[in-house]
Amino acid sequence: MAMAQHMKLDEAIDTLKKSGVRITPQRHAVLEYLIQSMSHPTADEIYKSLEGKFPNMSVATVYNNLRVFKEVGLVKELTYGDASSRFDCITTDHYHIICKPCGKIVDFHYPGLDEVETLAEQVTGFHVSDHRMEIYGICPSCKKNEAHH
């Protein structure tokens, strides 16, 4: 399993160009924000941090761009059963640990659980395409806040 690697803006732009996607200033900004942010932002968070720079931009524009990035494989959408999908621009395999009180998602790297996939295939007869593992807990800053109560 290859080491997870953070995508670079240049490479991402290159991928878009090769896929025939036009690079508008807004699209560029959304992509840049995604790559620089390690926080798995929602479309709303991206919109709020860019609206000052692009007064004409709407949340729909952000969603549109995210959909384009998803189609060419630049981002992964993490759905949590509600409207607030989060977007992750690191598409190599990694796992997530999620803070229950504040919802923060942090990446961590661990060798892919290939044996589990193989076992699941053997036991169920399914063809396994991928898997998702999430660890839950309380992040350091929430832990600190709790201690002050």
Residues that bind Zn ion (CB under 5 A): 88, 99, 101-102, 104, 107, 139, 142
Shortest distance (Å) from residue 38 CB to Zn ion:
8
Position 121, amino acid: E
Is 89 assigned a ligand-binding role in the annotation?
Answer: no
Pairing of strands 76-78, 95-99: unpaired
The 3-class SS string of 101-113 reads CCCCEEEECCCCC
Is 131 assigned a ligand-binding role in the annotation?
Answer: yes
Shortest distance (Å) from residue 122 CB to Zn ion:
29
Instruction: Considering the complex, state which of residue 53 and residue 143 has its C-beta at the smaller distance from Zn ion.
Output: 143
**Residues 23, 20: Cα–Cα separation, whole Å:** 9
Instruction: Considering the complex, state which of residue 28 and residue 104 has its C-beta at the smaller distance from Zn ion.
Output: 104
Shortest distance (Å) from residue 102 CB to Zn ion:
3
Instruction: Considering the complex, state which of residue 120 and residue 142 has its C-beta at the smaller distance from Zn ion.
Output: 142
Shortest distance (Å) from residue 22 CB to Zn ion:
27
**Residues 149, 137: Cα–Cα separation, whole Å:** 19
Say if residues 43 and 79 touch (Cβ distance below 8 Å): no
Instruction: Considering the complex, state which of residue 14 and residue 134 has its C-beta at the smaller distance from Zn ion.
Output: 134
**Residues 18, 107: Cα–Cα separation, whole Å:** 28
Residue 48, Cα to own-chain centre: how many angstroms?
A: 17
Task: Tell me the binding residues for Fe cation.
Answer: 131
Task: Tell me the binding residues.
Answer: 99, 102, 131, 139, 142
